Chains A and B, each alone.
Chain A
């Protein structure tokens, strides 16, 4: 289908042909989908897997003794092994399925947070999505622990020096975003993990934006926990992943109680199922997990190195073209090499909502607003930004369409081309 992961360029036309939604028009224009940091589109194979699961093997998993239950259980558990392999985990028992990244992070905040005492410090960054901020704020209210923040450096990046300023002997948890959904910058996770370990803190990474775009290896990153979502990497909505080191997960109390997560239940008390089922209470999202397996197949077949190279090349092209527009401000690292796939910007004095509405009339989908990162918006000193974000099916002509759309928006607001 496409190039293997040996560094040869991506055959974008062949990739695009497998995404039915990319053939549709919006307001009479071909869809230009540049909102991939919010969610990605789905290839036909994922859509087909979803329908074929319901058409041929739908059953509840793990407890059934009949054939369908057995087939569904195998299909579900196979994807757990695929995920483990995809992120370089040593064992599939380290992979817990949740609803989304937000739930994965809430699971950690709830269980790890219960161990904190007044004065303990939780270190986050200035660039967190609300999903890696609000759960920890709740922890501080319950425990008296305090939040500290790794600030951005002068180039709007999280670096080792800004991290060092925030991590100290009181740090119990370090939970940071790997790739910012606004700045596109990638944090030096391995180095920060080392710092966390040296003070005995638990290291958590929000990989919601990075897992779709760059190869992830949890062993190389040296982290304790990692969270991401299927829907931002070609999979269905409603599936999140929490990876954790087996010894650490085994030591955590359950998050939600109910069926599936128990071993023996009496009227008074229960014992817990083995990993990872201890953290999967109730009937999970079986069909969407199975379809996520098709998404991982797709990514593996194209190759994460190839995808990373494609996204970086396209981002570089977009930064270059956008920077040439008069009155266009791009947020994030000055060097395009320091970012991946996400470009937040403001154009002229046109509010990003107006930019998004005008682009939409030309079939171009971008995000506008605070991107669930209100504290970061305050740090950047802007109420809102527009954001274009790319994935493996995007191509240069779509960046050109974005630039043309912005020029049209400028004209409407009284600026000459």
Chain B
């Protein structure tokens, strides 16, 4: 029973609504599309209507900057805002690697936070304890995966039901 599981592993709203998350929701970083974008992509969550548009400036294999737009709940929007900061300056390989780790963290509440240094993004670790909100956290990262795949000419194999597409690039 769900109640037994909860007794062993209490879930608190504070796990979800960390200060860092609320701060990014209220004061989003890198909001708006970048003029120097080399690839743009968007995605939405059909079950709730959250949407993210992402523009990424990539030069010589490095993510120089990201901008995002869209609307949705605090988790979807703060996840995007934190992502734009954390990805800036990374190589394409490093960005993809980071995206993989964050998505593992968002979906697995037993994820080992000591294994990888995710910086501020660790604030999103509580999302995994709220199954109905996991997709909110994932949205921006699925859009990022789509944009990076387009930049490197690869195809992505995503079995989540979050539709994403490249809008220019």
Q: Which of A97-105, A298-306, A351-359 is the interface stretch?
A: A351-359
A319, B41: Cα distance in complex, Å: 41
Q: Interface size class for chain A?
A: 20 to 34
Q: Is A27 an interface residue (CB 8 A)?
A: yes
For chain B, the bracket of interface size reads 20 to 34
What mask results when residues 106 to 118 of chain A are scored 1 for a CB within 8 Å of chain B, else 0? Answer: 0000000000000
Q: Does A217 contact B (CB under 8 A)?
A: no
Q: In this assembly, does B49 line the interface, its C-beta being within 8 Å of a C-beta of chain A?
A: yes
Q: Which residues in A have their C-beta under 8 angstroms from that of B50?
A: 353
Q: Which residues of chain B (9-63) have a CB below 8 Å from chain A?
A: 13, 16-17, 22, 26, 47-50
| Chain A residues whose CB sits within 8 angstroms of the CB of B17 once the complex forms | 354, 412
Q: Tell me if A413 is interfacial: C-beta within 8 Å of chain B.
A: yes
Which residues of chain A have a CB within 8 Å of any CB of chain B?
25, 27, 350-354, 357-358, 361, 368-370, 374, 377, 383-384, 412-414
Establish whether residues B74 and A354, one from each chain, have CB atoms under 8 Å apart when the complex forms. yes
- Tell me whether A27 and B47 are in contact (CB under 8 A): no
B73 sits at the interface (CB 8 A):
yes
**Overall SS of chain B's interface:** helix
Per a CB cutoff under 8 Å, which of B6, B47, B49, B73 touches A354?
A: B73
Residues of A within 8 A of B48 (CB): 353, 368-370, 384
Chain B contact residues, CB within 8 Å of chain A = 3, 6, 13, 16-17, 22, 26, 47-50, 71-75, 130, 132-133, 136
Q: Which residues of A contact B136 (CB under 8 A)?
A: 353
* CA of A328 to CA of B75, assembled, Å: 21
Q: Which of A351, A361, A377 interacts with B73 by CB under 8 Å?
A: A351
Residue from A350, A351, A352 whose CB has the most chain B CB atoms within 10 Å: A351
A351 with B74: CB separation less than 8 A: yes
B13-A361 in contact (CB<8A): yes
Query: Quick one: which of B3, B47, B72, B132 contacts A351, CB cutoff 8 A?
Result: B72
Q: Which of B16, B49, B133 contacts A370 (CB 8 A)?
A: B49
B13 touches A383 (CB 8 A): no
What's the Cα separation between A414 and B27 when bound, in Å?
13
Partner of A383 from the list B3, B72, B74 (CB cut-off 8 Å) is B72
Shortest beta-carbon distance from B114 to chain A in Å: 28
Q: Which of A353, A358, A377 has the most CB of B within 10 A?
A: A353
Q: Which residues of B contact A384 (CB under 8 A)?
A: 48-49
- Most chain B CB neighbours (cut-off 10 Å) among A352, A369, A370, A383: A383
The CA of A368 and the CA of B73, in the complex, are separated in Å by 11
Nearest B residue to A412 by beta-carbon distance? Answer: B17
Residues of A near B71 (CB, < 8 A) are 383
* Distance from A345 Cβ to chain B, minimum over Cβ atoms (Å): 16
28 contacts between A and B (CB under 8 A): A25-B3, A350-B74, A351-B74, A352-B73, A353-B48, A353-B50, A353-B73, A353-B75, A353-B133, A353-B136, A354-B17, A354-B73, A354-B74, A354-B75, A357-B16, A357-B130, A357-B132, A357-B133, A358-B13, A368-B48, A369-B48, A369-B49, A370-B48, A374-B49, A384-B48, A412-B17, A412-B22, A413-B22
B26 touches A414 (CB 8 A): yes
Residue among B3, B49, B72, B132 with the highest chain A CB neighbour number at 10 A: B49
Cβ of B47 and Cβ of A369 under 8 Å apart? yes
Whether A412 pairs with B13 at a CB distance below 8 angstroms is yes
Residue in A closest to B16 when the chains form the complex, CB atoms: A357
A228-B108 Cα distance, complex, nearest whole Å = 41
What is the minimal beta-carbon distance from B110 to any residue of chain A, in angstroms? 21
> Within the complex, what minimum Cβ distance (angstroms) separates B5 from chain A?
12
User: Which residue of chain B lies nearest to A361 when distances are taken between CB atoms in the complex?
Assistant: B13
Nearest 9 A-B pairs (CB), nearest first? A351-B73, A353-B73, A369-B48, A354-B74, A361-B13, A383-B71, A383-B49, A354-B73, A370-B49
The complex places the Cα of A384 from the Cα of B73 at a distance, in Å, of 10
